[in-house]
Structure formats: C-alpha cells, structure tokens
Structure 1
C-alpha cells in the first residue's frame, strides 16, 4: 500500500546494530517480523502517525476496545454458571479478548509479527468456539458424548497444523479467515432454529446483518482505498472492528443461552435477557442469571 503513503516515516528498528555475527543473522530475521510496517497496511495508513506519533493506524487501533471488553462483560455476567457448570465456555471469550489485544498491537505497529498473531488468534478463536460448544449442538449425536475429549484433542491438533500454514502466504490469511464465516453463519442459523429458545430466534438475523455490514466495510477498505482517500474517509476497517465486535458478542450471548438451556439438568439457574439501553435502535443484550427460588 505504498502508493497511499503521504509522509513515510523513517525506518524504525527494535534491535541494536552492533551485535556479534552469530546473533546478527537472528537479528535480521527478527527485524523482518518486528519492524514497523513489515505487515499489511490498511487504508488509514495514509495518515499514519499523525494522531499519535507512535501509533500507525489510530482509528484501527482504538476500535479494538469493544473486542477486548465485550467478551469479558459476558464472562462477568455468567460467572456463576462458568464456575459451577461449564468452565470451558470461558475460553472463546478469553481468545476474543486476546485477539483484540493482538489486533491493537498490529494496527499500532503494522509489523508482520502483530499481523500473524492477530490472524492466528482468530483461527484459534473459531476452533475454540467449535470445541467449547459442539457438545450442545443439536446435530451432535448424544451417544457420542463419551468421545468429547477425543474430539477436542482432534480439533486442537488440526488447529495447530493449520496454524503453520499462516506463515506460508501471510497476505492470504485474512481472506481465508473471512471465508470461514460462511459455514459459521450456517451453523448459527441452524442452532438458533433448533434450540427452542424464544430469546434467540432473531439472533441469526441480527448477527448476519452485523457481519455482512462488517464484511462490506472490510472489502471496501481493502479494494476501494483510493476512493475513500479521495473523500478523506479511510476508516472503513475501523468500522469493521466495531461491527464485527458486536456480531461476535451476539454470537456469545446466543451460544451462552444454548449452553445454559441444554445443560439445565446440571444446574438450577434461570436466565433473563435485558438490553442496554432498554429502548432504541441499537441495543446491547446481556444475560442476567438467578438461582431458581424453589431450589434455595
């Protein structure tokens, strides 16, 4: 994206130049991974370092805050359930927070290491969602529940193998990860339709609208950057962060409810869905858990 640079900054490095010969080769390799701007730059990079001198893409950096905070909010709200019933559901939430932190570092530095950590954390997030929630999927045969541990091990091994391919052609990683959203949306729609939970009937539509809008922003930033620069609005990737964080949060709300309902024989919690704000076009759902009074 060199044709978008207005004022290219001087090359920065994290490593001292005066080092011994055996370490020099390692240093040169690390430079490739840790140097500023060694990764893929987004449209906002045309104005890089102008808001804060040490942050390459300011808007793309700060809009990761919802990715970091929203999953932690859901963990806090269903903490009693996580502690007493199913602790593994915390893992996808933690990985989304890790992805938000990795994305923050990536857009602040634009180095290749940050880019790969960002993309690999998304891969592990997708696989961890599968590993955490597949036991309560409607299409998972009940008679195979004794093999849950083996299936999770297989998912982990496959994820480790696939992770190595992220280093082969880093420029293709983001596109491949975006394509994974197609089967993910199909699973979301299927599970919501077969869960028998009135509160999540409209979740697939909401998630799909948010994700489609986010995907349009992602493609627009990547393909039509010259046009957005002409208009002075190179912030569609930042908008992608905001929309995708809302979509991911709604996915967690939906599957948290499915998990709570499908494991109802193992706990005495009752849930309610509330919204903040209570009225308005854009409302954030959240789960309120209470113990059923008749079991107290």
Structure 2
C-alpha cells in the first residue's frame, strides 16, 4: 500500500505515458501537454448535457447531475495527472473513473430494461450497497496503483455491453444509432489506449507519441453519448411523472453513426 508522504505530489512519481518522452517541451509546467489539453471535452461535454437537460433535472430528477459532475471532475483530475505525472494525480484520475461508472449505474438504474421491476421498492438499499462496494474497491486502488488502469479497462467491458443493450432495446432508431456510436468510439479508444501502452517505441520512432491523447478525445465523446442515451431513457420511462419529451438529434443533421449526438427537451403541453 502506498504510504501517505510527500512523494504523492512529487513530479513523475506516477505512471507516465508515451508522450512523457517529450515532457515539459511545449510548456515548462505541463509534463504531457497533449494528454493534458485533450481533457477539455471531458470537462465541458457533460456540462453541455446538463444545460440541455436543466429543466428536467430541476423539476424531475436532480440525481442526474451527479454522474455528469463526476465526469467533469474526472476531466479535471486527468488534466492534473498528466500535467504533473504524480501518484496523487494518477489515483484521483482512476478513482474518479471508478466512481463515475458505478454512480452512473446508480443514477440510471431504475430506468434500465435490465433492472427487474420487482426490485424497485428496494432501490434505496441497492444504491447504498453500490456506494459501499465502490468505497471498498476504492481502498484496493491504493494497494497496487500499477494495475488500476487495467482493472478499469476490464470494468469498462461489461459497462459497454449494458449501454449497447439498453440503447438497442430502447425502441428508438436514434437511441440505437447512438448506442452503435458509443460502441465504435469505445472500441477505437481501447485500441489507441493499448497501442500507446504496448507500442510506445514505434510511435517514438515515428515522432507521434500522442495516441493516449486521441484516446481522451474518443472516450470523452463516447461517455458524453452515454449520457445522451440514458438521459433520453430517463425522460421516456418516467413519462407519468412529468410533462417533458426528449429526442436524440445528430449534428450534422441525421448523418448516422458519424453524427455528433445531442439531446433536445420540449414540453409535451407545448407540442399539443
């Protein structure tokens, strides 16, 4: 287990990525410049979805703010980690991802098709159990930080399976398209993550050690799209509780898997 000492904040005490071969060359106080600045979408995109969903969140389900803010927190933690490459930054980056995955499950669990309706009366207990399990797993993250990233990648596999299943079974062509969008981006992001980790010497010879930065961009859009899908599901499956209607749109206009998804929220009363 890592002792709590000043070494936590010592530059370079955490794991460094392929770009670290050029560290501090762009800006004197940022170790991995590309890996740092490519966290901007991770910070901004969930706030965009909050803005688009603000009326629904305020009037119907305030809990949806939690996973969105955790994604923004992860972006800030990741930026700090890549700027300093210290062990503290590495741990808060990894722990924020863990909490993001499990609290996203907690927030959207009641509207998932996989969630048995007979367990609905016990949702508070189930949520508390998930939080407790997350706390316990968080403690284990301090034991051997070198394996945390691999563990998170493994956890992402069943997470993407659930996301893809829910999107395909949502009963909406747009939700299905968005689910494919998530799957394709996640697969590409994993490929870039593994390539950066395993083939760094190759990228250094080519002078392009920035594959982890591409991973940031792909994974941030993928995670944002998950919020678009699940926000739509939340609105649609809570219809008896409110007067809103949600739709998934793409930019440029409806260009399939290659469009950038976003959610629109309207009042059913206004439409009628």
- TM-score normalized by structure 1? 0.87
Q: 1:141 aligns with which of 91, 100, 116?
A: 116
Quote the residue 1:283 is aligned against: 259
Contact 2:181 2:258 in 1 (8 A): no
CA distance in 1, matches of 2:55, 2:28: 43
Say which SS state the counterpart of residue 55 (structure 1) adopts: coil
Structure 1 residue runs of 4+, over 4 Å off?
A: 279-282
- Spell out, residue by residue over 1:241-276, the C-alpha distance to the aligned partner (whole angstroms, 9 max, x if none): 000001101111011111111001111112233333
**Is the radius of gyration larger for structure 1 or structure 2?**
1
Contact 2:232 2:247 in 1 (8 A): no
- Spell out, residue by residue over 1:118-148, the C-alpha distance to the aligned partner (whole angstroms, 9 max, x if none): 0000000011011011111112222221111
Contact 1:268 1:295 in 2 (8 A): no
Deviates more, 1:285-294 or 1:236-245: 285-294
Q: For residue 232 of structure 1, report the CA deviation from its aligned partner.
A: 0.2
- Spell out, residue by residue over 1:17-64, the C-alpha distance to the aligned partner (whole angstroms, 9 max, x if none): xxxxxxxxxxx9532100000000000000000000000000000000
Q: What runs of 5+ residues in structure 1 fail to find an aligned partner?
A: 1-27
The one of the two structures with greater contact order (alpha-carbon pairs below 8 A, sep at least 6) is 2
Q: 1:243 aligns with which of 218, 227, 231?
A: 218
Contact 2:232 2:248 in 1 (8 A): no
Contact 2:164 2:183 in 1 (8 A): no
Q: 2:84 aligns with which of 109, 133, 141?
A: 109
Contact 1:199 1:273 in 2 (8 A): yes
Q: What runs of 5+ residues in structure 2 fail to find an aligned partner?
A: none
Quote the residue 1:9 is aligned against: none
- TM-score normalized by structure 2? 0.95
Q: CA RMSD in A?
A: 1.6
Quote the residue 1:158 is aligned against: 133
CA distance in 2, matches of 1:221, 1:204: 26
- Spell out, residue by residue over 1:216-244, the C-alpha distance to the aligned partner (whole angstroms, 9 max, x if none): 11011111000100000000000000000
Q: 1:266 aligns with which of 235, 241, 253?
A: 241
CA distance in 2, matches of 1:295, 1:247: 31
Quote the residue 2:37 is aligned against: 62
